[in-house]
Every structure is written in C-alpha cells, then in structure tokens.
Amino acid sequence: VTGIDVGIYRYLPLDHALVLERPAGSDIADRLTAATHGQRFAGEAAVTFIWSALPARTEWRYAEASYKVIAIDAGHVCQNLYLACEAVGAGTCAIAAYRQDLMDELIGVDGYDEFVIYAAPVGKVG
C-alpha cells in the first residue's frame, strides 16, 4: 500500500473517506500477530481490515436478534472484500480467531459498547 501512513484508520461510509485515528507504532505487526494467536500473515499483510460493532445501533430495531444481524452483516461485508480482492489479484483470509481484549485495545474500543467482530488481512497473491 502506497500513499498512506501506517496507522489505525476508521472508514466513514457516508463520506467514502478514511480518517487516521492514530499513527501505528513500529510494533503494529507484532501486536496484530499476537492478537490473532500468532497468525503472522495478519501482521505482515499490506492492510488488515478490522470490523467493529456497536450493538446499540442495532438493538433498538432488532432487539434480541441484533447479535445475529451484526454477525450476518459482518459476513456480508467480508464476502464483498473477498470479491474485491479477486478483482484486483489480491488475497484475503477472514479471521474470527483472535484475542478479543488485544484486538479491542489495538483499535481503541472499549470492548463493551464497541468491540471487534471480524478481521481480514489483504495482500497481493503470487
């Protein structure tokens, strides 16, 4: 990835823009690897997408089904990432095996009102 500094970014869908939340330290690859139970490709990828959920945004409408809806939506978004990767000759691998505490800390969410739900590193294949 060129033209963008290493860091933790938030995507703003209404503006179709990235906002730098904070620059990443030199240990970002190690922290991602540790948070994903030693899956080195998560820390070595060109970019790792990390999705978080804010249950309150779903609970008002879906009540007890909100957690199911959040998981389904995360799956839909990640499937579209797979399709986009295929289109540009990149690869991805969805990751749900991670340490919740380390991933939440990495992106700066509290783990209660907002928490990580899915991750997917992306890089060129071949």
pLDDT of res. 72: 97
pLDDT of res. 40: 94
Q: What's the token pair of residue 33?
A: 């690897």
Strand 90-92 and strand 17-23: pairing?
unpaired
- pLDDT by 10s per residue, the chain, length 126: 788 999 999 999 999 999 999 998 889 999 999 999 999 999 999 999 999 999 999 999 999 999 999 999 999 999 999 999 999 999 999 999 999 999 999 999 999 999 999 999 999 987
- Report the alpha-carbon angle 66-69-74, nearest 5: 125
pLDDT of res. 1: 74
Please state, in angstroms and as integers, the Cα–Cα distance from residue 46 to each residue in 41, 81, 91, 124, following that order.
Answer: 9, 14, 10, 8
User: Among candidates 115, 111, 112, which has minimal Cα distance to 50?
Assistant: 115
